[in-house]
Structure 1
């Protein structure tokens, strides 16, 4: 009995030793594999991450003449042609909004600060501004330099600009203003100047749903 007990104890020790050895081997191999990754934590890697950030915001229809579009909730869609519509009026096949005026809607946006209450209207308004001035100005905004947007279209640039502005935050979990989607360089103010035409989401959806 004593001999059997000793054999089992030795087998248990051997098993533990093998397990520890395997862990050490795996850890060593993993460390060696990670060395090249550390060397490539450069603009190439950051560019890929930044493009993934932009592409997550923008969706694309698989239809031949489909649209790229963005949506952040159950109500609104903005497409790359400058049209905004309710989700129920979006063409499910192409992803496009109805090509009916008005185009480049800036509902609920502050013209002075270039900040909007709603992400989709921000993208739409940003597209309007990019038609009036070179889109390179958007790409060269200081706050967008962390993203590599050189190969991105204006629609993607507008989507990233409207979605990411650290200056929108007053505290970690509070916005400075309800106008926290911005396509300009400056952060939104805490004041609420008069909105642009068609000032709210409710009025837009009411008009849109009657079409």
Structure 2
């Protein structure tokens, strides 16, 4: 792991830890986008709850920025309001349309902060035109994908750069350390958590893209 990436990771972790110590608020920008998308489709909170199986209360909290969804819940809500998950990632004004199809500069990565579950993601591949998607994930101690198992079409591969990851694939549990890699069919029920005491930093690849 390069020094600047380590520094960036520590900066992300410290910002998230500070935010978490002050409150359990979610991501206001994400909340606004989800609420706007729902209203654009003329859907009620109950409509989204019925489509996702999530409670009206949880969806309301997410839309008010009081909490952030798990990775699975985020995809379910995005599907219900008919937007792509990638459209919910914060974008930078630094993006150059001329090279954006092939090159993603470090300061051009799309980012998503999910403070309530202790996770920060940065997409390293272009928005469109690629059959694979690569991203980095930072997990605070106790950070996770969510408490529920997820499954979807695709295949995933990753390498643990720093920290520790507890990966659950169906009934199997794996404890991964720096340098360990994983690969699995995304239709296998899966979830993961940083069960260590320091930030976990992961390079992740998934096909087809889902974020």
| Bin of the TM-score, shorter chain as denominator length | under 0.3
Give the helix-richer structure, 1 or 2: 1
Q: Which structure is larger by alpha-carbon Rg, 1 or 2?
A: 1
Give the strand-richer structure, 1 or 2: 2
Please give the TM-score of this superposition, normalised by the length of structure 1: 0.22
Please give the TM-score of this superposition, normalised by the length of structure 2: 0.22
